[in-house]
Structure formats: structure tokens, C-alpha cells
Structure 1
Amino acid sequence: MRPKPKPDDWSPPPPPPSDPLLGRFVTLQPLDPEADAEAVFYALGNGTEPDVYRHAVMGGFTEPDGLRDALRGRMGDGIPFRIDDAKTGEALGLISYLRIRPNHGSAEIGGLAYGPALRRTPGGTEAVYLLLARLFETGYRRAEWKCDTQNETSKRAATRYGFTFEGVFRQDMMIRGGNRDTAWYSIIDREWPPVRQAFEAWLSEDNFTEEGEQKEALAALRDRLRAS
């Protein structure tokens, strides 16, 4: 059987750049485990927030050195970023490119660990948008999102961000002695334009009241843009 021809206008992109990304609410800085572990540890709740690690591949940590060791061990697995508050520079959490496959034009947005100050805020949404935008701008065809099937928060987030559910890998991993079935989601390049426009419209100043409340939900913006 002959291989399927590649699209005439596509060739494998380079790895996504690891230089900083600047947003309205947050900035993403290349992670340095030695310099950043302590600030990130405290941003994630000083080891007193078990939900931060409940569904994560990395385990819970009760002191900064444990997190530092784990981050050192994961540096070769992707391109991790520290999420900072855009105004204060205070560390808020972590996010990464994972499973980067330039020859196939795909990469995963993962390794998310959001501290209490970042959860359910525009900055958490913006961090995902910044990585997605860079990925597609670099020439990638597919962005992936994966999570434990028991992680309802992550599954809702994937749908809200515009990812499409693709299925479940049963008995995919053993995490800290327990089974993990993994739900897979994706956005592909032809779907990205209305998803991008919805992100940008949602994140704009015009979409928030003076009290910081959203005027229109991200999913509603995306549905309206797709319809038009």
C-alpha cells in the first residue's frame, strides 16, 4: 500500500520555542527547577492543597526539595513553563508542552498545576491560549489534551477551551499505585481559527465588567463565531 501523500503546504515544524510568552493576565517563563521550585511550591499551596496533585503524574509534595527533584526529572519530557502574574511577577503555577512530535505536527498541552490564586481566573484560561497560539503559529497540525477520566475538572476545561473528545485509553497508566484510564482530546489546525477568535474575544477588556465578571462565556463566543 502506498503511503498517503502529505499536504502540499505542510512540512514538519521545529519544536515550539521556549522563550517567554506575555499575556494580559499572566506571563509564561521557561521553567528553571533550581531557581523556581520554591516559589512554585508555595504558589501551589505549600503542600496543603491535595487537589493540586490528585490526578497529576507527579505526586504530592510536602516541601520544596521534593518538587524540585520531580521537576528536574521531567525536564527532558517537554517544555515546561512557570506561570506568573503579569502585574506582580508572582508565581502562580505550571504548564507545559508535552509529547512533542514535530514530524507529525502534534504536541500536548499538559503538566498543568494551578495554585489557588490562578484557579477559575482569566489567567488560567490565558495560559492555555498562549501555548495553543504559539503551537499553531509554529506550524503544528494538532494540539492534544489528556487527563484522568476521573478528573471532571480537567474534562470540563478541555471542552470549554474548544478541544474535541476523542476517546479513552483504558488502563493507560499506573499513577502512585493506582490505575489511570486516560481521556484524549484534540484541536486540529482547521478548527483553530474560530477557537482562537473566541479565546481572544473572551480575554479582551470588553468582555469583562468593572467587577471582573465575564459578559459572555467562552463556549458561547465560540459557538457564535463558528455559526458565522
Structure 2
Amino acid sequence: MPSEEPRRNEFGQTIGRPVTWTVRPAVVPVTLVGEHVRLEPWGPRFLEDLYASTVTGSPASTWTYLATPPLDSPDGLGQWLDGLDADPGAVPLVLCRPDGRAVGTASYLRLDHLNGSVEVGAIAYAAELQRTTAATEAMYLMMRHAFDDLGYRRYEWKCDSMNAPSRRAAQRLGFTYEGTFRNALVYKGRNRDTDWFSITDDEWPAVRSALEGWLAPDNQPGGTQERSLEQFRA
């Protein structure tokens, strides 16, 4: 089919497609409940379990790509999450097993309710949570809240360009690579080039359908997937 002619204004300049838009609600601390995981707003009551699962119970490589204070005691982990909690552009959440034990963190970042955009980041999964159904469900619940509950237009994922597992996770979940911001940050005494990914509201229905199909019990009899998430998207 022929490509659609670009819109032009009265000066002959090309302009973007029209959007009917009203300001959306701000992201605020929220509890999100799934079948395999529960996300709750960060609070000190989670620190003991979280430190045991994500620091002493996980390899140190879990923290390579996160700019945290030293984690040789629970205080460093608490300072990191308290700092996110104090940031008006962030909402840190704690990932809990159904029994309430804390096994990871993830945060809404770069909150922009005026334009309907938010990032997911500051993700730290305990070794026991990585590559599990609960890990994927947590990301699905956060996306669903942003798009379906709040009506946002854009959901972002960013990572150190050297962080191959994070890049793979973004692509597996349905994010689209947008480019690399070179020399974007300095942390832990090293350079960070940042890879940007996103899902937009027009892409979300297909992404949601694939995630819901993959999470469905009939796709995981006995805890083993019948079809991969990539196969559902295809």
C-alpha cells in the first residue's frame, strides 16, 4: 500500500499526527497483585528479607549495572531505595512472593503524567526470582497499570549498553529498541552508554495479548512453558 502523505501546516511544513489528549493521573505508590507475585510500595519493613534475597542470597553480579551505595550492609540497600522514594520522579516497588517474602525491586522512573510517559527501571531480582514466571508477571503488572489503569502513551526501558541480559529482557518483553545515548552517564568510575527501548500505547494491545497468553496456566502446565513469549508475539 502507498505510504500515507505527511500532514502539513499552513507553512508547508510536515507535522505529526493529531492526538486527542488530556493530562493523565500521576503515578503514585500502588500495590499490584498477580498470581505469582505481589508488588508493594517500598518500606523499611521489607529491608531484612530484601537484603537476604537480593544481596547475601544472590551473586554480586546482580548489582553490576545499578548505581547503588556499597551493599556490605543492609544500610546501603536501604539508602538506595529511600533515595528513590524521596525522588519526585520515582516510585520504588518491592516484589514479594505470595507468602510476603521480598525477593526483588522495580521502580517507575522519569514520571511524566503531562505527556503520559514513564520508565521502568532500578530492577534488581534475587537469583531465585530470575527467569521465573513471577519475574515476567511483575513486568506485565507494571505495564498494565501504566497503560490500562492510567492511560499512558509511552513506557520506557533503559539500560547500560553493556548489559546484555537487560537488553534481551527488554526485547523478549516486547520493547522496541530506539537507539543508544553515548556517554550518557558516569557511575562506579566508568562510562555508561545507555540503550533506550519503549512500548507505545498503539503497540500495547499486542504486547499485552502475548504476555497474557504466555502467563496463562494452560501454557505452563507443571511450571514449564509450552510456547515461548516470542512465539506468542509472532
**Shared fold (TM-score greater than 0.5)?**
yes
In structure 1, the partner of 2:48 is: 38
> What secondary structure is seen at the aligned counterpart in 1 of 2:119?
strand
Per-residue deviation, 1:71: 1.6
Alpha-carbon distance in structure 1 between the residues aligned to 2:53 and 2:78: 14
Alpha-carbon distance in structure 2 between the residues aligned to 1:70 and 1:29: 17
In structure 2, the partner of 1:162 is: 174
> What secondary structure is seen at the aligned counterpart in 1 of 2:198?
strand
Per-residue deviation, 1:104: 1.4
Q: Deviations over 1:174-224 (max 9, x none)?
A: 0111100000000000000010011111011010122x110000011011x
Per-residue deviation, 1:5: 7.8
Equivalent pairs counted in the alignment come to 219
Within the candidate set 48, 51, 60, 1:50 is matched to: 60
Amino acid corresponding to residue 187 of structure 2 in structure 1 = I
Give yes or no for the alignment of 1:213 onto 2:224. Answer: yes
In structure 2, the partner of 1:199 is: 211
> What secondary structure is seen at the aligned counterpart in 1 of 2:56?
coil
Within the candidate set 208, 212, 233, 1:222 is matched to: 233
Amino acid corresponding to residue 186 of structure 1 in structure 2 = S
> What secondary structure is seen at the aligned counterpart in 2 of 1:180?
strand
Alpha-carbon distance in structure 2 between the residues aligned to 1:172 and 1:47: 31
Q: Deviations over 1:66-99 (max 9, x none)?
A: 111222122114011100012x211110011000
Amino acid corresponding to residue 70 of structure 1 in structure 2 = W
Contact 1:46–1:63, Cα closer than 8 Å, also in 2: no
Contact 1:45–1:116, Cα closer than 8 Å, also in 2: no
In angstroms, what is the RMSD of aligned CA positions?
1.7
Q: Percent identity?
A: 38
Contact 1:47–1:61, Cα closer than 8 Å, also in 2: no
- Where structure 1 has 5 or more consecutive residues not aligned to the other structure, the ranges are 224-228
> What secondary structure is seen at the aligned counterpart in 2 of 1:190?
coil
Per-residue deviation, 1:48: 5.7
In structure 2, the partner of 1:69 is: 79
Within the candidate set 32, 40, 53, 1:21 is matched to: 32
Alpha-carbon distance in structure 1 between the residues aligned to 2:153 and 2:130: 29
Alpha-carbon distance in structure 2 between the residues aligned to 1:111 and 1:51: 15
Alpha-carbon distance in structure 1 between the residues aligned to 2:231 and 2:46: 37
Q: Deviations over 1:82-127 (max 9, x none)?
A: 00012x2111100110001111110001110000110010111011
156 and 59 in structure 1: CA distance in 2 versus 1, 3 angstrom threshold: farther
Structure 1-normalised TM-score? 0.91
Per-residue deviation, 1:14: 1.1
Amino acid corresponding to residue 206 of structure 1 in structure 2 = D
- Where structure 2 has 5 or more consecutive residues not aligned to the other structure, the ranges are 1-10
Alpha-carbon distance in structure 2 between the residues aligned to 1:31 and 1:82: 6
Per-residue deviation, 1:59: 4.3
Per-residue deviation, 1:15: 1.2
